[in-house]
Amino acid sequence: MRRVLEPYLWLLFSGGGVVAALLLPVLVLLFGVLMPLGVLDWPSAAHLAGALEPLPVRVALVAVVALCLFHAAHRIRHTSEELLGLARFDLPIAVVCYGGALGGAAVAAWLLW
């Protein structure tokens, strides 16, 4: 029996959608609205470095970035195949999309360590 990766890719897609829906609006509100308007003070570099010091925080940030990238990769893959009619190029599109997501997650992990 041949195993397919599609259920796992849909799992990463939905996880990334949940993370993006819950965390990104808060980040946009903080760093895109409240801090530029002066409602909140900008954090100092020392404060941000201190916040990134614990290992669980760095692991969580890598997970957030990876899930958001997989969400985007899955959406780009299916959009290009269904709406643009490129379904015959499924394997190359999947390799580029998910390879880019893996590469971006690796870069995020490298930057945080």
The pLDDT of residue 107 is above 70: yes
CA 78 to centroid of chain Cα atoms = 17
Q: Which of 55, 54, 56, 69 is nearest to 19 (CA)?
A: 69
Dist CA 71 CA 16 (whole Å): 5
Q: How far apart are the first and last CA of the chain?
A: 40
CB contact at 8 A, 66 and 13 = no
All structural domains of the chain with their residue ranges:
6-16+45-112
Condensed to tens digits (0 to 9), the pLDDT of residues 33-60 reads: 999 999 999 999 999 999 999 999 999 9
Which H or E element spans position 26?
A: helix 6-28
